[in-house]
Structure 1
Amino acid sequence: MARPRGFDTDLAVERAMRLFRRQGYQATSLPQLTARLHLGSGSLYAAFGSKDGLYARALDHYCTDLVRHLAEHLRADDDIRATVRELLLVLAASDLADPEQGCLLVNAATERAGHTSTVERVRAAMAAVERVLSDALRRAQARGELDAAHDPVELARFLTTFVQGLHVMGNARADRVFLESAVAGALRALD
């Protein structure tokens, strides 16, 4: 009979996600992971198979949380411009507060572009973000807040792309004035 795990797998994935988010995949060593997760390498391999397996779980966790938080933020029938503005400014403020934290999706898309399963996970997460945004934009259009000539999917794709660019500029240490100006420009797409 297999011995029960003596650690919280979800907590281990959360801790690994934070480390990968801050350092990236390549710069995160197995000793750093085992120290951060308070696990021996044997336990890590038994639970996740490999560093890649743990990274995949961490990326899935990040993507699930990202989409859930976005959906919660956009669920209300609040004014779409105010809601999107607040969302973008919160993201910019988060990047300003801790620019080394980074966005795991941006990191995964750039650092692991040659890794097929990572690219598929990133693509699926971006599609989910696009769906959440386009649904919110369709609801806003139905309420008369968004011109009927706008294509909600096209706007959602623009905003999805803009958010990733916002994270990159945060990593590049853009200042608050720059980021707020960029957000103001992005919001004009909703006019």
Structure 2
Amino acid sequence: MVRTREFDTETAACRAMELFWSRGYEATSVRDLTQHLGIGQGSLYAAFGDKDGLYRAALEHYRATLAATALDSLKNGADARSAIRALLVERIRIAVSDDGRGCLAVNAVCERLPGDTATRRTVRDMQDASQDAIAEVLRVAVERGEITTPHDPATLAAFLVTFLNGLLVSAKITPDARALESLVEVALVALG
């Protein structure tokens, strides 16, 4: 007789995301995960395959929730400059929380690469989605005359995402939102 799963895998991925985010992949053991999730090791393996599988599920949960919410905020901004400022400031706020836990995606790249191609692909997809969303906001802003940058919107979007990645790493070193937010104004100068 096959036993039915007694836990919600999406909730497990969410809770695992929090643990991986606060501790990192290497410092989080399978035992830590099973205790934190309140499940047995066999259940973890049956649902996710192994620790790597659960980590990928946690990254996917991050992408589908927090990263997706950040991109949605771009669409709701009053103007391009305000929308991009709000996106960058919100990402800083999240990164400095919990004593500078940073960004799960950036942490994953810093900790797991170069050998983990699945993590690289997931994070690259997140970065590409961010660049595409920002580039679209910038294209519309140029058409409306909101910004006067001499730079191509795609190149400027790539710059802003690269800048954000640097901010997110810096948040781990110096978890001071005020200091990092002042840098956002410098980056926004590129919008013209």
Displacement, 1:160? 0.8
TM-score (norm 2): 0.92
SS at match of 1:126: helix
Residue 30 of structure 1 is matched in structure 2 by 30
Q: 1:87-141, CA deviations, whole angstroms, 9 ceiling, x for partnerless residues?
A: 2222223333323432111111111112111111111111111111111111212
Q: What does the per-residue CA deviation read over 1:130-165, in whole Å, with 9 as the maximum and x for residues that have no partner?
A: 111111111212221122633111111111111111
Tell me, yes or no, if the aligned pair for 1:99 and 1:170 is still in contact at 8 Å.
no
Q: Aligned residue for 1:112?
A: 112
Q: 1:28–1:100: structure 2 CA closer, same or farther, 3 Å change rule? A: farther
2:81 corresponds in structure 1 to 81
| Amino acid corresponding to residue 173 of structure 1 in structure 2 | T
Deviations 1:40-83 (A, max 9, x none): 00000000000000001111111222442123101135111122
Instruction: State the partner residue of 2:18.
Output: 18
Aligned residue type for 1:29: S
TM-score normalized by structure 1? 0.92
Match of 1:179 in 2: 180
Structure 1 residues 110 and 148 mapped into 2: Cα distance closer, same or farther (>3 Å)?
Answer: closer
User: Hey, what's the Cα distance between the residues in 1 that align with 2:126 and 2:139?
Assistant: 20
What's the counterpart of residue 189 of structure 1? Answer: 190
Structure-2 separation of matches of 1:3 and 1:35: 21
Q: In structure 2, do the counterparts of structure 1 residues 25 and 97 end up closer, same or farther at CA, with 3 Å as the change threshold?
A: closer
Q: 1:77 to 1:183 in 2, by over 3 A?
A: closer
- Does structure 1 conserve the Cα–Cα contact (< 8 Å) formed by 2:96 and 2:102? no
Q: How many residues align?
A: 191
CA distance in 1, matches of 2:96, 2:118: 30
For residues 1-191 of structure 1, what are the structure 2 equivalents within 5 Å?
2-76=2-76, 78-113=78-113, 114-147=115-148, 149-191=150-192
Give the share of equivalent positions with the same residue, in percent.
Answer: 46
Root-mean-square deviation (Å): 1.6
Residues 121 and 7 of structure 1: is their aligned pair in 2 closer, same or farther, counting only changes over 3 Å? same
